[in-house]
Amino acid sequence: MTATESVSALLHEAAETHHIVYRIVDGDDPDWASWYADWLLDHSELPQLLGSAPVRSHLVHELVQLDRDYTSERGYQMGEFDLVRFRPSFKPGEENHIGEAIVDGDGAIAYLKTFRLSEAQIRRGYLLELLAAHNWRLSAAAKAIGTTPEDLRGRIRAAGFETILRQKEKP
């Protein structure tokens, strides 16, 4: 097992343990990242895998950032395997990847493929995400990024999404 697979297995083990500990509230824990960091540092092999223990606050920050940066969903189940697809919170000017993984019942990755998005793909994803976050209200989306609805409409038109906007747009 590679170091990446080992860390992945530890994260899955942490998730399973967290769910057992917080079963009474169905896993709901607003401070989940702190719990994960404590468990990973004090009750797992993570420090040995990395060669030293990371600073706890840095680990909490990285866990929260990963949760913010990526969205995943189970596509479908094939026997004991799950197809999981993931995508970033689109950030223009940064490297963004989408991908899919096939994960077995123990959380081990059997297949993983990622694709680096072009800047044009990232901008289109960002625009769609922005509009969806503002319930397809052009004026609210424009205000959120400090521009005018006319300017945002021009960006949407340039991205090739004007038809989608007309179908979804709300006053």
Distance between start and end Cα atoms, the chain: 54
**Is the pTM above the cut of 0.95?**
no
Distance of alpha carbon 81 from its chain centroid, rounded? Answer: 20
Contact 99, 86 (CB under 8 A): yes
Based on the fold, state whether residues 32 and 111 are members of the same structural domain.
yes
108 and 141, same domain (yes or no): no
Residues 58 and 129 in one domain: no
Sign of CA dihedral 21, 27, 29, 35: positive
Q: pLDDT, tens digit, for every residue of 69-128?
A: 888 888 889 899 999 999 998 999 999 999 999 988 776 778 889 999 999 999 999 999
Say yes or no: 126 and 103 in one domain.
no
Kindly state whether residues 24 and 84 are assigned to the same domain: yes
Please state the domain count of the chain: 2
